[in-house]
Structure 1
Amino acid sequence: MSPTLYVDVHVLQTVPPANINRDDNGDPKEAFFGGVRRSRVSSQAWKRATRQYFAERNPTGADAVRTKQIAGQLAKRLHQRHALGEEQAQRLANAVLQPLKIKPGRKAGETAYLLFFGYQQLDAIIDLFAEEIPELVELDDTALAARLKGLPVQEALSKGHPLDVALFGRMVAEIPALNVDAATQIAHALSTHSVELEMDYYTAVDDENTENTGAGMIGTVGFNSATLYRYATLGIHQLEHNLGGADATDDGARRFLDAFARSMPTGHTNSYAHRTRPSLVAVVIRADQPVNLVSAFENPVALREDDTDGIAEKSACRLAREYGIAVRQWGDEPVLAAACHTFAPDSKAAEAVEGVFGPNHTFTELLDRVHQTLRSARENA
């Protein structure tokens, strides 16, 4: 079993004019921090982007789904595995899930809330009664419900979690036994500097209109640009508990770090083509508690007329200083501190980052160091 370890991920990423996470007015989300308005990307937006990133790159396809249609998904698996007709499969799926007493939604066939589960867990449920399917489909509704009442369906949903569920957890208020404590926490991304909302006035031309020069459509959309500080923490001990194996945990940690660093929410992506890569990814493995370093930017970063460094470089210096002070003052030397950055080798930012996080690594080398450190910590525990 892994010792108590937290993998903190600190990311600085500059995003050009964009609207990647909208509020209820359709404008980019913002937050008031350090006395000024900041650009903000919600934790939910980046969690979803992270989940989608590694689901798309999983060779076996998506491991998990979050939906109100668990009965429909189970019926689909029954149809695929046992060639049942759609009506028979749906009837059987409804009867199997009935003992869970999941609150129904407003629409037929839906639950009142989203459920997060793995497809392999649905297969495990089917395995509980697969050999009896020819007999079960011949029973009437009352006899079918009585026959399936004692199946350990809840137990099947409480183990064998896919990585998605193990990382982000599952909350079912009405059925606490189905809850899964999340192994990761993701903070709202904040700009390291003050940001002002701008409006994009756009028009669209009717290609077939040759009679006048007016626009076929006129509209506005809000946008901003920002250097964001992004933070996430991963509890290795909790991830191993959820997954039930050391190898799966090490692989899961690597996949999460890769996906979190490379992912990007896709709001208005066709309009702004805003996808960038981080300027800095710093990883700190700690044995005491997670530490968010957003306090480095409570005083917003600002540029003077004579500055030769940009916002990203000045933000990196701030982050490095905050981390160095925190370690020195609190005396909590980490298990590992390492970073990957894209700053010029002779820049102030490179000097500051490497002064506290060590030599610059490629991103692959950084992932390798994390993997090796986690394995060594487990072996030495």
Structure 2
Amino acid sequence: MSRTLIDIHILQTVPPSNLNRDDTGSPKTAVYGGVRRARVSSQAWKRATRVAFDSHLDTSELGTRTKRVVELLAAEINDRAPELSERATDLATETIKAVGIEVKAPEKDKAPQSGYLLFLSRRQIQNLADAAIEAAGADDVKKALKDAKVKDLADRDHSVDISLFGRMVADQADINVDAAAQVAHAISVHPAETEFDYYTAVDDHTGDDETGAGMIGTVEFNSSTLYRYATVDVNRLADNLGSTIAVRRAVEAFLESFVRSMPSGKQNTFANRTLPEAVVVLARESQPINLVGAFESPVRESDRAGRTKRAADALRDEAREIERAYGEQPIDSWVTRLGDDTASLDDLGPNVPLTELVTQLGDLVGSRVEERS
């Protein structure tokens, strides 16, 4: 049975910024190729991508990840059956327990919470609420919920984001969802140094003998040209979603959102939001292939070429070498890019606007899923 894997490669330059900081407030970094690089964690960009889904998908196609799942379910029960408002929290608690999820005792004036973040789709919340409302009329609510097999209700009708990014349920491993998408940590294609911005905040209301500096401090930042990579296993996504139309919408939304999104760290301070210089999408049948090896030798600008051009050339060369050495010829490919510095990437696929890339990728995914079914 043929596989369909979608590899997304991005080159993106960001100005002074602190997209993703560690516990000390410093921009995250990593050593690669013997030099320190700027880094943005995969979790940060997955979160940004999930937030961007709101612009491309209906809320009914998305999920919620929260510890406050009892509160979320109780609100749904209350909306569907207002006459049960006084029992909604208790019904929600028993329903979540019936799924097999441990629920912690509530703090003062708060609903109970799960011991960890729980990812449920909108449809799953609705289905669990319906089961809770039905069980509310039984003499033994716990038995009614067990008979309703509420655990199964939490393991079907997965949302797009759960299907892409997966779900781990510590208490009930059998309702885990294997992620169809993998996102790499973004790293700079060149050495990167952390710098410090010394700032003062002026107090607008001061006396004549005062300097006006009400606060001083420092903010750490760096600037970089990042290589970003993600891959989507279309077969696994189809298994999770079960619908060709849903799979196509999920892949299109993921591509658009991953390309356009950016982690929100310190955006008000640096106004650092940019769009990529280049997006290369390669559809494969064998395995996903991260092309980060193109930058193991760090890119260094010169009088003749800046970082973007050298990075684009290196990415093109790495892709071609992998094709030559391993016979890894993509089944289809596309490029969306800016300016002359990225022109070498046209060797990897037709140069099209992002909207056309998304549509053509959707066509490919739809036809491949139909063939598989």
Fold conserved (TM > 0.5)? Answer: yes
Of residues 201-210 and 257-266 in structure 1, the stretch that sits farther from structure 2 once superposed is: 201-210
Of residues 227-236 and 364-373 in structure 1, the stretch that sits farther from structure 2 once superposed is: 364-373
The separation in 2 between residues aligned to 1:35 and 1:180, in whole angstroms, is: 37
Alpha carbon RMSD of aligned pairs, Å? 1.8
| 2:264 matched residue in structure 1 | 266
TM-superposed CA distance for 1:328, in Å, is 1.1
Under a length normalisation based on structure 1, what TM-score does the superposition of the two structures give? 0.92
1:17 aligns with 2:27: no
Given that residues 49 and 263 in structure 1 are in contact (C-alpha distance below 8 angstroms), is that contact kept between their aligned partners in structure 2? yes
1:44 aligns with 2:43: yes
The separation in 2 between residues aligned to 1:342 and 1:35, in whole angstroms, is: 30
- What is the aligned residue count? 367
Given that residues 200 and 214 in structure 2 are in contact (C-alpha distance below 8 angstroms), is that contact kept between their aligned partners in structure 1? yes
TM-superposed CA distance for 1:131, in Å, is 4.3
1:236 aligns with 2:227: no
| 1:319 matched residue in structure 2 | 315
| 1:78 matched residue in structure 2 | 77
The separation in 2 between residues aligned to 1:34 and 1:299, in whole angstroms, is: 6
Given that residues 7 and 290 in structure 1 are in contact (C-alpha distance below 8 angstroms), is that contact kept between their aligned partners in structure 2? yes
Per-residue Cα deviation, 1:255-304 (whole angstroms, up to 9, x for no partner)? 10000000000001100011000000000000000000000000000022
| 2:346 matched residue in structure 1 | 354
Given that residues 204 and 212 in structure 2 are in contact (C-alpha distance below 8 angstroms), is that contact kept between their aligned partners in structure 1? no
1:201 aligns with 2:198: yes
The separation in 2 between residues aligned to 1:149 and 1:371, in whole angstroms, is: 41
The separation in 2 between residues aligned to 1:358 and 1:334, in whole angstroms, is: 10
| 2:101 matched residue in structure 1 | 102
| 1:278 matched residue in structure 2 | 276
Q: Gapped runs of 5+ residues in structure 2?
A: none
3-state SS of 2:27 partner: coil
Of residues 40-49 and 332-341 in structure 1, the stretch that sits farther from structure 2 once superposed is: 332-341
The separation in 2 between residues aligned to 1:160 and 1:328, in whole angstroms, is: 42
Given that residues 106 and 112 in structure 1 are in contact (C-alpha distance below 8 angstroms), is that contact kept between their aligned partners in structure 2? no
1:186 aligns with 2:169: no
Percent of aligned pairs with the same amino acid: 42
3-state SS of 1:239 partner: helix
Q: Gapped runs of 5+ residues in structure 1?
A: none
Under a length normalisation based on structure 2, what TM-score does the superposition of the two structures give? 0.94
Of residues 316-325 and 363-372 in structure 1, the stretch that sits farther from structure 2 once superposed is: 363-372
User: Displaced runs of 4+ in structure 1, greater than 6 A?
Assistant: none
Query: Aligned letter for 1:283?
Result: V
Q: 1:375 aligns with which of 357, 363, 366?
A: 366
The separation in 2 between residues aligned to 1:376 and 1:91, in whole angstroms, is: 47
| 1:250 matched residue in structure 2 | 248
| 1:172 matched residue in structure 2 | 169
The separation in 2 between residues aligned to 1:224 and 1:61, in whole angstroms, is: 39
The separation in 2 between residues aligned to 1:53 and 1:360, in whole angstroms, is: 25
Q: 2:126 aligns with which of 115, 123, 126?
A: 123
Query: Aligned letter for 1:361?
Result: V
TM-superposed CA distance for 1:122, in Å, is 1.1
Given that residues 105 and 113 in structure 2 are in contact (C-alpha distance below 8 angstroms), is that contact kept between their aligned partners in structure 1? yes
3-state SS of 1:128 partner: helix
The separation in 2 between residues aligned to 1:47 and 1:197, in whole angstroms, is: 24
Q: 1:330 aligns with which of 326, 332, 340?
A: 326
Query: Aligned letter for 1:180?
Result: V
| 1:87 matched residue in structure 2 | 86
Of residues 15-24 and 56-65 in structure 1, the stretch that sits farther from structure 2 once superposed is: 56-65
Of residues 368-377 and 332-341 in structure 1, the stretch that sits farther from structure 2 once superposed is: 368-377
